[in-house]
Amino acid sequence: MLILTLNCWSYSVRYQLFDWNAYSVLAHGEVERISMGGTTITHTTGNGTSYRRGFECPDHRAGIAAILAALTDPGAAVISNLRDITAIGHRVVHGGDTFTHSTLLDGEVLAAIREAQQLAPLHNAPNIAGIEAARSLFPHIPHVAIFDTAFHQTMPEHAYLYPLPMDWYTQHGVRRYGFHGPPHLYLSRRAALLLNKRPADCNLVTIHLSKGVSLCAIRNGCSVDTSMGLTPLEGAIMDTRCGDIDPGIPPFIIEEGNLTARSMDNILNQKSGMAGITGSVADRHQVQERAAAGDERCLLALKMQSYRLRKYIGSYIAAVGQLDAVVFTADSGETGWLLREMTLQGLECFGIAMDSDRNRSALGDEKEWCISRDESKVRILVIPAKEELVFVEDVAAIIAGHLPDSLTYDYRFARTRESQ
């Protein structure tokens, strides 16, 4: 059984072709600059063959067609016939409060995704474009939606509601939804395995550090709080998103600067965060490099981000109780030793004691690392982000007629290697 996964953004598509029977990746890659001109596809096979090519790409359908061509390309083919693809899994960022698990796509489900589009217009619109394109190209195979928001549907009411007029929730769906559900789910199950505990017995704080940043408080294996909210804008400081701010600031600056609500939204999402603090640099690797070289604005950005992360960790300990582990993943979570070190400073009072040498040695390489001291009461783990495995496993489960419940489902990636 071959499963194709698609992660569609406004101007790009990340993809992976997975052989379920061999439990291995046949190929993966990314199409960049869709509809912008200068579109490229970077394609890598499981045996390491790789290429990068340019082509004309006016829309997501053309981007997905290029992916299909790459999979059967004579120079780097991984399949001989596109009919070998059994099913396609689609990342969908916002499912509102309708979906508590991944779901087989049909007209009704797609309509619900459209309904949630106003809550994440920058994300759901390209997700829908990818779904429509793939379904038109593959009308006779199952398509499955994997929702960012589904893992967080276990949050209690007192955690997901805002202190706003209740009509805003009942009539407009204004509540905390949370995002990055698949990576947080993956971390919760892999951490439980490394801790030699059942997921239902684990209390964790998981931290996804990429262009978007989110933290999740996991009690007894379930999400009970998360830093992103109604939209992916809330929470920690991100590359270009502001995260938590005084809600009085936007109307004040709109009035002072004679701005529109749309332009303010663009500033908060695209020109704030690390980019806003440094004045120009948004890439967190560059920020860390320049901070280490003495750039004061970049050092300030790191201090602000690590301080915000540290406060979230402390508040989530209060939410989950006795902590088993703090888990880092994704981009800076896997390779950013300086940001991890700054974030974890002063948390020894919570039993979180980092080993500096282990932390500086943990630089990705697709490995799982433990960077806490031997005597630390709370483990500190660095685990590679493999959210595509959640996509693949959920697709396989649904095809087999199972419900991929995030707590009780027997995910293969949560087993020991011998039992996979």
pLDDT in tens, 68-90: 999 999 888 899 999 999 999 99
* Residue-level pLDDT at 292: 86
Reported pTM: 0.95
pLDDT in tens, 12-27: 999 999 999 999 999 9
* Residue-level pLDDT at 420: 62
Specify the fold of 181-385. Nucleotidyltransferase; domain 5 (3.30.420)
Q: What mean pLDDT is reported for the chain?
A: 95
Burial of 302 (0-12, 13-18, 19+ CB in 10 A): buried
Mean pLDDT on 34-50: 94
User: Do 2-147 and 181-385 fold alike per CATH?
Assistant: yes
Residue 239: alpha-carbon gap to chain centroid:
14
Give one DSSP letter per residue of 190-216, joined into a string. Answer: HHHHHTTS-GGG--EEEEEESSSEEEE
When pLDDT is cut at 50, 70 and 90, the band that residue 242 belongs to is: very high
pLDDT in tens, 114-138: 988 877 777 889 999 999 999 999 9
* Residue-level pLDDT at 157: 97
* Residue-level pLDDT at 122: 74
Q: Which of 19, 73, 84, 148 is catalytic?
A: 148
* Residue-level pLDDT at 75: 81
* Residue-level pLDDT at 106: 95
Share of the chain above pLDDT 90, in %: 88
Instruction: Give CA–CA dist 370/359, Å, rounded.
Output: 8
Domain range annotation of the chain:
2-147, 181-385
Mean pLDDT on 294-301: 94
Instruction: Give CA–CA dist 268/19, Å, rounded.
Output: 41
When pLDDT is cut at 50, 70 and 90, the band that residue 280 belongs to is: confident
**Residue 328 pLDDT greater than 70, yes or no:** yes
When pLDDT is cut at 50, 70 and 90, the band that residue 418 belongs to is: low
* Residue-level pLDDT at 419: 62
Mean pLDDT on 349-357: 98
pLDDT in tens, 358-417: 999 999 888 999 999 999 999 999 999 999 999 999 999 999 999 888 888 999 999 977
* Residue-level pLDDT at 416: 79
Catalytic, 148? Answer: yes
Give one DSSP letter per residue of 121-138, joined into a string. Answer: HHHHHHHHHHHHHHHHHS
Mean pLDDT on 212-233: 96
Class of domain 2-147: alpha beta
Instruction: Give CA–CA dist 19/84, Å, rounded.
Output: 10
